Amino acid sequence: MKLTRWLAWPVLTVACTIMLVASYIGDVEVFCAALLSASCALYSWVLDCEEQMMINRQNAKSVASRLRWEVKEEKQAGDKLDSIVVLAARFSVSRGTVRKAISALAQEGLLEVVHGRGIYVLGDTGLRGDRNDRPKDVIARDILNRASGSYLPATTDMVNVYNCSYSTVRRVQLHLANAGHIWRDTHGGYRRT
């Protein structure tokens, strides 16, 4: 008899209580029967947990498979995927399952998760589009195309122009400064070298 998870713990608790009482009064038959019930409940709960883990693994693989097909057949590089909450509702799975699927696809190089911005399609999906269309690549390309010695726009202006986060612009500025392509003057602005 397979007990569901919600029933296994109460049965286990009652069986242990009966075992305690039976051992106190010295009734060996009742003790053995309670021990058998407790072990069956525990075994059933362990099997149920293992089965649930297998279903979750299968769900993550299934969601990853469906997302992989969607990315390769219907999306272009640079396209933004729906949020994790929307994907979880669409596939009728938990957000953790969707995160596992997205993580697997990110390891394959199909997706990139940009914290605070979303999930983006990467690489060659078979359709048009280029990975260099990401905001940080566009910003770097535009800065490098500026004339030598020219001032760069303020960071907040670049955030508005490129529709990206402040930290994205700052990372590009710091990367280009470390590479020697721009430098910070005494007034706090950046200039092209």
| 87 and 175 belong to one structural domain | no
Residue 56 counted as domain residue: yes
Domain boundary among 87, 121, 155: 121
Residue 58 counted as domain residue: yes
Domain that holds residue 50: 5-121
Residue 126 counted as domain residue: no
The label of the residue with tokens 């303020």 reads 154
| 79 and 10 belong to one structural domain | yes
pLDDT in tens, 163-184: 888 878 888 888 888 888 898 8
| 113 and 67 belong to one structural domain | yes
Burial class (CB in 10 A: 0-12, 13-18, 19+), 177: middle
Residue 55 counted as domain residue: yes
Task: List the CATH number of the domain containing 93.
Answer: 1.10.10.10
Domain boundary among 72, 99, 121: 121
The pLDDT of residue 45: 60
pLDDT in tens, 2-32: 445 556 556 667 766 776 676 677 776 766 6
| 3 state SS of 121 | strand
Residue 16 counted as domain residue: yes
| 148 and 86 belong to one structural domain | no
Max Cα distance, the chain (Å): 94
Domain boundary among 121, 153, 182: 121
Q: How many domains does the chain have?
A: 2
| 168 and 109 belong to one structural domain | no
- Higher-pLDDT residue of 38 and 169 is 169
Backbone angle region of 123, left / alpha / beta, with phi > 0 → left and psi within -120 to 50 → alpha: left
Write the CB contacts of 38 (distance below 8 Å, at least 6 apart in sequence).
11, 12, 15, 16, 19
- Residue 114 CA to residue 96 CA, distance in Å, equals 17
| 102 and 34 belong to one structural domain | yes
Whether the Cβ atoms of residue 100 and residue 60 lie closer than 8 Å to each other: yes
